[in-house]
Amino acid sequence: MKRNNFVELTAGQVKFLKEFKQGEKRSLREINRANILLLLDKGKEALEIAEFLDIGRNTVSRTKMRFLRQGMEAALAEEPRPGQPRVHTRKREAEVIALACSDAPEGRTRWTLELLTQTLNKQKGARKINRESVRLMLKKTNANRG
């Protein structure tokens, strides 16, 4: 008796998955997803696959459901990850860059990271910023501090 959510691959899909694994350099996650689909096609259970590939059972279930709902491409692809939220807004970055590109304070020949950080942290109402954040913002723009 067949279940609704059984994975049945065509000969073309099996060939594609085997070539996918052997082809260009792939991440381990992509190879695992291809192996999951191939093993599901052979009738293996999620728990067996998870133990055999040394991955979580949820990974097998998510890959299977993505294949059934969205197809082969979606099942093999990496979903975008949100990453860490931005701490400083683009407006704040623009302020940092503008300050770094302005004339250095009296008695200084150029802005240093420490001097920029101190000046920015003295501004009222602005979120505190550390030296490394200033450095990374300036690195992105190739700003020349003199």
What residues does each domain of the chain span? Answer: 11-76, 90-141
Whether 49 has a pLDDT exceeding 50, the answer reads: yes
Whether 5 has a pLDDT exceeding 80, the answer reads: no
- pTM summary value: 0.59
Closest CA to 5 of 53, 69, 98, 94: 69
Residue 1's pLDDT is what? 37
Q: Which amino acid is at 36?
A: I
Closest CA to 60 of 79, 77, 40, 80: 40
Residue 2's pLDDT is what? 46
Whether 142 has a pLDDT exceeding 80, the answer reads: no
The stretch 38-59 carries a mean pLDDT of 93
